[in-house]
Structure 1
Amino acid sequence: MPLDQVIISYRRSRNFINVLLLRSMNLFQPVLGESPSEKLIVSANGICWREQNLEYRILVNDFFDIATRNEDGEVPFNLVEKEGNNLAFGLALRRIPHRALDERTVSVDKGELLLRINPFTRCSLHCGNCANKVVGERQYLQIREIPMTTMMPQNYFCARNKLPVYPTEEELFYGLNYLVVSTDLLGIGVTTTEGHRCIQCSRCQQPVGEYLGRDVAAQLFADALRLVTTESPFEFKEIFGHITPTQMMIRLLHDAYPISMEKTRLLLKTVRPDGQLQYLYLQVDTKQLHILRSELDTSDLEMNSTAQLPMEDDTSSESDLDMVLSDTSSSSINPQTGDDLMDRSDPLPKPEAAEPQKSVKYLNLRGFGGFRLKYLFSASDEELNESDNVTSSWCDQGSRMIRISYSMMVDLMTEFNAHERVAAALEMNSPPTKSRQPRLTYVIFEPDEEFYARQEQFAKIDQ
């Protein structure tokens, strides 16, 4: 069956790549039919996959130089067939032009958060659970993001050896899933817990924020609040617009806790709409992961037979002319009788039917940056109890617990679940199964417009 997609992974400082030839977008789809002739050819500048009259050519010379022979003269790769359908193997590299690799990797910068509060419209903030008014109607004339991406508000407003930064009633600061306002804006709509740290809704007792320092400022959780503006006084809106998993991870990794030169930790927390608490434990490799992917468009393009992939002599593809010559130059002796089949006294044999023309398709690769990580998700009270020791240990060691919205958690888990199958196939691990052990996955950074285009494409497929 034809290839659907090619995925190649390279971890910085390694001298090999992992290659996955997806012959079905579903990694666990059963074999629909095997080709009678399949062949994999590797050269210094590319990979060629043949089956029947299809030939796929994957050029990687813009990214890597592949080693085709080791010191013993053997081809340095092992072929592995995954579930009888998709092929995964590793290739040693002879040279890694890191500058060229970086230049051909899609660059994704930190984007702006879509905040629905603006300095031109009066608004009020309400509890997202019971609609109780937490901050009365007012206008914020100065709206600014916390200076350093997801810098802890505590460090900005209550920095050591510096005077605290007290926001005025007209100032609004924001970051990923939180707002920081003056404590003077809080009224009878909130109460505090014992110790005067946590801010709760006075009606339903849902936590809506916390105090920074000695009442320097109030940090409010955006996912626990709803926005009402004078333009739409009867409509409760989300405070922030949607943020892609890529933009989430770019911000969150700034707050990761380093545990070694190569690994950092993230502890994420969310509250489901029904009140269920959920934790996500992440251990991220800090060395960048490069992912090369072919385009999802697999429309057949007939290529000119003269357009050849420049392979090395010992691994080059035979041209159609070379195959015809090799057939006619082979022995013409009948293996059963020993007679010469080309004897003039015998009638000439009927010409065999011409072989179907070979279709050659070039698969172009695009480079994406990302990270390799292991994650553990606790979604129920039972799982939270099982992982309580991990939570305590991480917090004692300095890991910061970061609250994200439930929709953010859903988006992250969707991406992790999708990429962990690819990660398992590339690294030749067992298929992922549900367990309480950390699971391996990848985070792949892609521009927002490509993320939404892919979601739209999948939505059309599901219809």
Structure 2
Amino acid sequence: MPVDQVIISYMRSRNWINVLLLRSMNLFQPVLVESPSEKIEVSANGFSWSEQNLEYRILVNEFFEIVTKTDDGEVPYSFVEMQGNNLVFGLALRRIKHRVMDQRTCDVEQSDLLLRINPFTPCCLHCSNCANLVMEQRQFHRIQEVAMTTMQPQNYFCARNRVPVYPTEEELFFGLNYLVISPDLLGIGVTTTPGNHLIECSRCKQCVGEYLGRDVAVQLYADALRLVSGDSPFGFEEIFGHVTPTQLMMRLLHDAEPISPEKTRLFLKAVRPDGQLQYLHLQVDTKQVHILRSELLDTSDLDRKSHGLDAPPMEADTSSESDFEMRLSDTSSSSINQPTGDDSMDPLDSSLPKPKAAGPQKSVQYIQLRGFRGCRLKYLFSGEDQDLIENEDITTTWLDEGTQVLRISYGMMVDLMGELNANEHLAAALEKVSPPIKSRHPRLSYLIYEADEDFYARQEQITKLAG
């Protein structure tokens, strides 16, 4: 089965990389067809995967130098594990080129939020649930993002150590999933709950915002509202444009609560359109993980030269001491060399296979890697009432410890959970832990930082391959 993608993870301060050869976008899918000849060969500057007349060559010499022989003359190895159609193994490193690795790693900057409210353009706000009028039509002469990168507006509008900011009727401030306006702009379509300063729709009772401080400003939840502007006076539209999971996480981490030098945590809340409350508990490692990832391969035409076929071949060294071969092994086996398609082979015989008669010409494909930064985290999602009940203990504990609940939109929650659910399979494979299952215990995953254009291109490519 051809390789769909190559993924390598590396953690700072470790002389080791974990490699995943993804041979099916459906991780842990049962193997349908096994090749009679499969092998991995490793040299100092990379490794190759071969099956029948197909060979993939992955060069990593830009980032690492791989150990092929220890100081004692022994050949290091890591067990090769089969997980469904996919292969996982580790490689020891002799040299890590940190400077080059940082230069070749995609740096993603925090981008501006796309706000669909324009200065001097009349607009009004309605409840997203029942279309009740929350703010009558008006114009804002000054529109700006909250000066601090944090999404918690009380840190800006009700600051203890600075002169507080009181929005005027001509001013609109905004941040991730919220708007801040003067209390005088609220219409007759809202009511205030006694005691806790929450603002509700007077018709359907949906919570649409809250007062800040001593009622100095109003924070409105963008996901609970719909915008009607002068450009589209008869249509409702979202207040903000789409925010990718990377941009979402970069903003949220400004509010992460440190719980140790190695970990921080986030407590996220979303409300489904039908009113279902959802919680997401995140415990994030402070040290970033580096991911080297290939582009998704279009395996329908292996003769195409779109993935660096002009790159130089791997170093040619036929000595058994400089290179070593790792054959596929079952995860329960203690030997790295196992027979593949030839039951007569001695499982402890590490010699190279004997030359065979000339057959079809081998197709060789070079795979290029791109560097990405990301965060390693554990998460616990409560999407239904039963989940909220089962995870009530951790919710109560976090609230008692003063953890702030940050509200995001339901769409943001869906996108974030989509990335976490997909990448938890990668994390489980790379770290050789049990495949993820639904449980009351936090689950391991990665969030890989990528530019918006890369995210949308990847989604389009996944859709194309799935179709």
Same fold (TM over 0.5): yes
Which runs of structure 2 are paired with 1:27-426 in the superposition (5 Å)? 27-298=27-298, 299-301=301-303, 308-311=313-316, 313=319, 314-315=321-322, 354-426=358-430
In the alignment, what sits opposite 1:348? none
Paired residues of 1:45 and 1:311 also in contact (CA < 8 A)? no
Runs of 4+ in 1 over 6 A off after TM superposition: 302-306
In the alignment, what sits opposite 2:434? 430
Give the Cα separation in 1 of the matches to 2:292 and 2:67.
Answer: 18
Q: CA RMSD in A?
A: 2.2
1:444 and 2:443 aligned: no
Point out the more displaced range, 88-97 or 368-377: 88-97
SS in 2 for 1:356: coil
Alpha-carbon shift at residue 84 of structure 1 (Å): 5.0
Give the 3 Å change call, closer, same or farther, for CA 193–84 of structure 1 in structure 2: closer
Give the Cα separation in 2 of the matches to 1:306 and 1:404.
Answer: 45
Give the Cα separation in 2 of the matches to 1:281 and 1:317.
Answer: 44
Alpha-carbon shift at residue 383 of structure 1 (Å): 1.5
Alpha-carbon shift at residue 398 of structure 1 (Å): 3.1
Give the 3 Å change call, closer, same or farther, for CA 3–460 of structure 1 in structure 2: closer
Paired residues of 1:310 and 1:316 also in contact (CA < 8 A)? no
Paired residues of 1:264 and 1:284 also in contact (CA < 8 A)? yes
Give the Cα separation in 2 of the matches to 1:19 and 1:397.
Answer: 39
Give the 3 Å change call, closer, same or farther, for CA 73–167 of structure 1 in structure 2: same
Paired residues of 2:29 and 2:84 also in contact (CA < 8 A)? no
Give the 3 Å change call, closer, same or farther, for CA 38–177 of structure 1 in structure 2: same
Point out the more displaced range, 308-317 or 95-104: 308-317
Greater RCO, 1 or 2 (C-alpha within 8 Å, sep 6+): 2
Structure 2: 5+ residue stretches without partners: 326-355
Amino acid at match of 1:280: L
Give the Cα separation in 1 of the matches to 2:261 and 2:398.
Answer: 17
In the alignment, what sits opposite 2:16? 16
**CA deviation profile, 1:99-131 (whole Å, cap 9, x unmatched):** 111111111111111111000310001111111
Alpha-carbon shift at residue 305 of structure 1 (Å): 12
Point out the more displaced range, 360-369 or 196-205: 196-205
Give the 3 Å change call, closer, same or farther, for CA 220–96 of structure 1 in structure 2: same
Give the Cα separation in 2 of the matches to 1:267 and 1:421.
Answer: 23
Structure 1: 5+ residue stretches without partners: 319-351
SS in 2 for 1:421: helix
Point out the more displaced range, 425-434 or 296-305: 296-305
SS in 2 for 1:287: strand
Q: Identity rate of aligned residues, in percent?
A: 68
Paired residues of 1:302 and 1:359 also in contact (CA < 8 A)? no
Alpha-carbon shift at residue 258 of structure 1 (Å): 0.7
Alpha-carbon shift at residue 307 of structure 1 (Å): 5.2
Give the Cα separation in 1 of the matches to 2:449 and 2:304.
Answer: 32
Paired residues of 2:200 and 2:206 also in contact (CA < 8 A)? yes
SS in 2 for 1:247: helix
Give the Cα separation in 2 of the matches to 1:429 and 1:361.
Answer: 30
Paired residues of 1:41 and 1:315 also in contact (CA < 8 A)? no
Point out the more displaced range, 209-218 or 19-28: 19-28
**CA deviation profile, 1:354-408 (whole Å, cap 9, x unmatched):** 3222222211111111011110001122221222221122123232110001111
Alpha-carbon shift at residue 461 of structure 1 (Å): 4.1
Give the Cα separation in 2 of the matches to 1:305 and 1:185.
Answer: 63
Paired residues of 1:311 and 1:317 also in contact (CA < 8 A)? no
Give the Cα separation in 2 of the matches to 1:363 and 1:231.
Answer: 48
**CA deviation profile, 1:296-340 (whole Å, cap 9, x unmatched):** 13442489999531255534599xxxxxxxxxxxxxxxxxxxxxx
1:5 and 2:17 aligned: no
Paired residues of 1:245 and 1:411 also in contact (CA < 8 A)? yes
Give the 3 Å change call, closer, same or farther, for CA 451–386 of structure 1 in structure 2: same
Paired residues of 1:3 and 1:24 also in contact (CA < 8 A)? yes
Alpha-carbon shift at residue 256 of structure 1 (Å): 0.6
Point out the more displaced range, 276-285 or 91-100: 91-100
Paired residues of 1:38 and 1:50 also in contact (CA < 8 A)? yes
Point out the more displaced range, 127-136 or 63-72: 63-72
Paired residues of 1:82 and 1:425 also in contact (CA < 8 A)? no
Give the Cα separation in 2 of the matches to 1:237 and 1:316.
Answer: 60
In the alignment, what sits opposite 1:345? none
Paired residues of 1:5 and 1:22 also in contact (CA < 8 A)? yes
Paired residues of 2:3 and 2:297 also in contact (CA < 8 A)? no
Greater C-alpha Rg: 1
Alpha-carbon shift at residue 158 of structure 1 (Å): 0.9
